[in-house]
């Protein structure tokens, strides 16, 4: 019997859930939220792999598998001109967060106490919250995610939302305000 999957810690859901190229491709590539968090920590903030794995509450080999998968999916989407959707995965979020007052980097660590920012090394850090959110969030046996189609379509350029037309994918709609590309919004 395989070992149960360990949930990955993420800071929170990304503000944008969809990236669509300026092509007519309808194929979607799903990047899970734990893969997004790994990319955010390692590639965007430049935090070493060992420290990033510690922040996410997973082992370094697991972190490596997650980030390799995420990079492969993003590369495929960029090369083949496919839409990237950010959703799902096995993850939990905490309210106990640290924030660096110098570089504005935020991270989660329920067990270890930090004296320095893992991003810039500054000692000017603060604790944002202390409580751990109960339960899991994500797509674990249908918990935490709303079932069914999205209720609205959101413009990825200006943020304008319109009600979803049943049977019509959001990606085929154009924003009535700026003419931009629409993506599903929950």
pTM: 0.56
Residue 154 to residue 94: CA distance in whole angstroms: 27
pLDDT for the residue 95: 57
| Contact assessment for residue 172 and residue 4, using Cβ atoms and an 8 Å cutoff | no
Q: 65: domain range?
A: 8-145
Which of 2-11, 19-28, 43-52, 142-151 shows the lowest per-residue confidence on average (mean pLDDT)? 142-151
Q: Are residues 23 and 110 in the same domain?
A: yes
**Does residue 1 fall inside a structural domain?**
no
The mean per-residue pLDDT over the stretch 159-169 comes to 78
Q: Are residues 115 and 185 in the same domain?
A: no
Closest CA to 17 of 156, 114, 132: 156
**Does residue 55 fall inside a structural domain?**
yes
Q: Are residues 37 and 122 in the same domain?
A: yes
**Does residue 56 fall inside a structural domain?**
yes
Q: What is the pLDDT of residues 50-68, one digit of tens each?
A: 998 988 888 999 999 999 9
Residue 170 to residue 62: CA distance in whole angstroms: 34
Residue 121 to residue 64: CA distance in whole angstroms: 23
Domain count, the chain: 2
**Does residue 81 fall inside a structural domain?**
yes
Where does a domain end: 128, 145, 162? 145
Q: Are residues 133 and 176 in the same domain?
A: no
pLDDT for the residue 98: 77
Q: Are residues 17 and 68 in the same domain?
A: yes
Whether residue 158 is predicted with pLDDT greater than 50 in this model: the reply is yes
**Does residue 3 fall inside a structural domain?**
no
Q: Are residues 131 and 182 in the same domain?
A: no
């Amino acid at each position: 019997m395989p070992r149960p999957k360990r949930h990955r810690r993420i800071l929170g859901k990304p503000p944008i859930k969809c990236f669509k190229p300026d092509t007519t491709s309808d194929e979607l590539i799903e990047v899970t939220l734990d893969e997004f968090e790994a990319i955010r920590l390692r590639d965007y903030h430049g935090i070493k792999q060992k420290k990033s794995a510690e922040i996410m509450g997973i082992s370094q080999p697991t972190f490596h598998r997650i980030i390799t998968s995420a990079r492969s999916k993003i590369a495929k989407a960029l090369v083949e001109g496919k839409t990237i959707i950010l959703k799902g995965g096995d993850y939990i979020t905490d309210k106990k967060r640290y924030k660096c007052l110098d570089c504005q980097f935020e991270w989660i660590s329920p067990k270890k106490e930090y004296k320095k920012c893992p991003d810039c090394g500054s000692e000017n850090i603060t604790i944002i919250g202390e409580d751990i959110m109960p339960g899991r969030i994500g797509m674990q046996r249908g918990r935490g995610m709303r079932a069914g189609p999205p209720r609205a379509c959101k413009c990825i350029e200006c943020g304008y939302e319109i009600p979803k037309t049943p049977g019509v994918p959001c990606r085929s709609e154009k924003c009535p305000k700026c003419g931009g590309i629409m993506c599903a919004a929950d």
